[in-house]
Amino acid sequence: MLSSIKFGLVITISFIFAIMLTLLPLPGWTVWLKPAWVMLVLFYWVLVMPDKVNVTVAWIVGLMVDVVSGTFLGAHAFAMVILAYFIYKLHRRMRVFPLLQQTLTVLGFMLVYQLIIFTIQGIGGDLPHTWLFWLAPLTSALFWPWVSWLLQDIQERLALHV
């Protein structure tokens, strides 16, 4: 009981922190380099604890990202649910990948995430007007080793076991 409360608190705080990083204002040209922090945190938790962090959590967190970022309601939620499902389906395989292969996998998933967001924005008539839109998956993949290491360290220090 106490362990599940501790786990829920850690998950909630990690997502709140990721949303805060998403809202962090950046200078003009660097806005395109901002990683998809929430998706990275979701990727980690679905990968490590898929029975506790699942598509339902992805939907809730995605809706929160939609609300705080002012995008079409459901756009991020839809993208996160799709990716959480595929991460869940592949989690046993991906957990044993070396870090470089995991990072390349994250890059692939982030490109799909960005493509889904791009498509939804296109349907709504709000397409980005620059190719820089596609840099976020690259920076997300570059930050993956650090995000993964930090969340794994927190998980180990607090003795949250799979």
pTM: 0.93
Beta carbons within 8 Å of 127's beta carbon, 6+ residues apart: 118, 121
8 A C-beta contact, residue 109 and residue 87: yes
Averaged pLDDT for residues 7-23: 94
**pLDDT score at 87:** 97
Averaged pLDDT for residues 5-19: 92
**pLDDT score at 6:** 82
Higher pLDDT, 46 or 125: 46
Give the pLDDT band (50/70/90) at residue 130.
Answer: confident
CA pair distance 119, 110, nearest whole angstrom: 14
Stated as kind and residue range, the H or E segment containing 109 is: helix 99-123
Residue 111 token pair? 């490109």
Beta carbons within 8 Å of 155's beta carbon, 6+ residues apart: 10, 48
Which tens digit of pLDDT belongs to each residue from 63-107? 999 999 888 889 999 999 999 999 999 999 999 999 999 999 999
Query: For residue 2, is pLDDT > 60?
Result: no
Which tens digit of pLDDT belongs to each residue from 114-126? 999 999 988 887 7
**pLDDT score at 50:** 94
